[in-house]
Amino acid sequence: MFRTLRRSQLIWDIVGASLLLLIGWPVIGVASATGIEPTNGWTAFGAVLSAVFAAAAAAIRRLSPPLALMVAWVAALITMAFVLIPGVIIPVVFIVLFATSAYGSKRTMYWGLGSVIVGSLLASAYVTLATLAGAFYNPSGPADKPSPTLVAVITAAMFVACIASMGLSWAFGLLMRNRIRTRRVEREREIAEALAVAEQQRTQIARDMHDVVAHSLAVVIAQADGARYASVARPEAATEALRTIASTARGALSDVRLLLTQLRHSQAEGPQPTLADLEMLYTQVRQAGVDLRVDVDPSPRADPPGAIQLAVYRILQEALTNAMRHGDDSGVDVYLSWHPDRVDLGVINVIDPQESSRPGGHGLIGMRERAQLVGGTLDAGADVADGRNRFVIRASIPITEIAEAPDSSAATTS
């Protein structure tokens, strides 16, 4: 029945209705003074009552459209009951009909449409019958009674004019209703998109956190184990291992702080790893005691897009972390092939036979998501080659924004 309005909206509606009442009040006096409408105590009382009800309907049209429609009908019925010339009620009818279709419920909207039809019939019949009965004063003196045909024509014309004007007000309200609904849908869509973006950012940050922490801890564990075994025979190796552990931990702490900053301030974008950071990644893995063999053929002819560089770095980081955790001492092979339209990468290491049946964890899921986000594919699984159990990770990522290098004669391999 009642809508929620801001205080300013309610004040403006009340002020507008008061101004309408003040403007319409002199009209009543002018009609009586000029003799257009006969004056007596009852007609004056009815005119005041009708004007007050009409102003009240205008004041609550947005607060309660159905109640405003009922009050407007009361004002119209008072006007007809006291045989008054419609004054303030005319603009109020248009305003209330607009409000019923713009702000009312669906039931109120249809009640407004029904009021357009019924009100047009009553208004045309009232004006015609009141004029024929001489209820309104005719300053030119008595006139001949018009023919029934002329009365019918005038009544029909009055009905068309009423239903056209009131129907137009109701239709304008319907347009406003559709506009309000469109804006509400747009706001809901914007909120949903913002929530989706926030969820995507949280997922990306969680993925980055997993990559950073898992890789750094794998390096630290490998260095700590190596230092513990070599501390007796080679004290200098233990010192070097501790230095590597400290450097890796500092880098991981810096990355974690950056990711936490992004969580606190989602609009802040920190620097992301690029291909230039791969050498540092390889160095950390080698310092952990892993025999890492890297083959890049062909090399990239230009700087790939940032998203491609980030995906390649994170996939290699997670793949090398898994190799350090589950691989043996035979080393890890890494290959990268930068073709004009794609980059192929692979990581191969020998594993214990029991590891071949180990189900994939969050790392493999994260690598697949990394590849899929940039339109690529990733396959991971165990196989047997030369009698050794291997774990192979292969990924292919399309490249769509690499600029052509000046030298186009670089060799490519499949």
Tens of pLDDT, residues 217-229: 677 777 677 666 6
pTM over 0.75: no
Read off the pLDDT band of 301 (50, 70, 90): confident
pLDDT of 69: 93
Least confident of 11-15, 368-372, 375-379: 368-372
Higher pLDDT, 230 or 151: 151
Question: What letter would DSSP give residue 231?
Answer: T
Beta strands in 158-250 (DSSP E): none
Q: Tokens 């045309």 map to which residue?
A: 124
Q: What ranges do the domains of the chain cover?
A: 7-143, 290-414
Region of poorest pLDDT, from 170-174, 241-245, 368-372, 405-409: 405-409
203 — alpha (psi -120 to 50), left (phi > 0) or beta? alpha
Asked whether residue 356 carries a pLDDT value surpassing 60, the answer given is: no
> What is the reported pLDDT for 382?
84
Indicate the average pLDDT of the chain: 77
Res 405 pLDDT > 70: no
- Band of pLDDT at residue 137, cut at 50, 70 and 90: very low
At residue 335 the predicted structure's pLDDT band, cuts being 50, 70 and 90, is very high
* pLDDT of the residue at 134: 56
For the cut 90, the answer to whether the pLDDT of residue 96 exceeds it is yes
Rounded Cα gap, residues 294 and 333, in angstroms: 6
Per cent of the chain over pLDDT 90 is: 20
Note the pLDDT of residue 115.
92
Q: Which residue, chain included where needed, has tokens 């990268």?
A: 336
Distance CA 254, CA 277 (A): 15
Which pLDDT does position 400 carry in this prediction?
Answer: 67
206: number of Cβ within 10 Å: 14
Q: Collapsing DSSP states into helix, strand and coil, what is residue 380?
A: strand
Instruction: Quote the Cα angle for 212-214-216, to 5°.
Output: 65
**Bridge partners for 338 per DSSP:** 343
For the domain spanning 290-414, the CATH number is 3.30.565.10
- pLDDT score for 30: 45
Using 50, 70 and 90 to split pLDDT, how confident is the model at 175? Answer: very high
* Residues in Cβ contact with 264 at an 8 Å cutoff, skipping those fewer than 6 apart: none
Answer yes or no: is pLDDT of 341 > 60.
yes
For residue 406, what are its two tokens? 């000046």
Which DSSP state fits 144?
P
Q: Looking at residue 409, what DSSP letter applies?
A: T
Rounded to 5 degrees, φ, ψ at 289 are 90, 15
Q: Name the helix (H) or strand (E) containing 260.
A: helix 235-264
Say what the pLDDT of residue 353 is.
Answer: 64
DSSP β-bridge partners for residue 395: 345, 378
User: Could you tell me the two tokens for 329?
Assistant: 């001492």
Mean pLDDT of 273-288: 85
As a whole number of Å, the end-to-end CA separation of the chain is 72
The continuous run of DSSP H or E covering 332 comes out as: strand 327-338
**Looking at residues 367-381, what average pLDDT do you find?**
86
Q: Which of the pair, 239 or 126, is modelled with greater confidence?
A: 126
Better-scored residue on pLDDT, 311 or 85:
311
Q: Cβ atoms within 10 A of the Cβ of 123, count?
A: 24
Assign 109 to helix, strand or coil: helix
Distance between CA atoms of residues 378 and 398, nearest Å: 12
Confidence band for 255, pLDDT divided at 50, 70 and 90? low
Other CB atoms closer than 10 Å to residue 47's CB: what's the count?
Answer: 26
Q: Are 345 and 411 in contact (CB under 8 A)?
A: no
Mean pLDDT computed over 37-65: 80
What share of the chain in percent tops pLDDT 70? 71
Please check the confidence at residue 68 and state whether its pLDDT lies above 90: yes
Distance (Å, rounded) from C-alpha 359 to C-alpha 124?
83
Side chain identity at residue 90, one-letter code: I
Is the pLDDT score of 182 beyond 80? yes
Q: What is the pLDDT of residue 144?
A: 54
What is the rounded distance in angstroms from the CA atom of residue 17 to the CA atom of residue 71? 13
Higher pLDDT, 35 or 129: 129
Is the predicted pLDDT of residue 143 greater than 80, yes or no? Answer: no
Res 345: pLDDT: 93
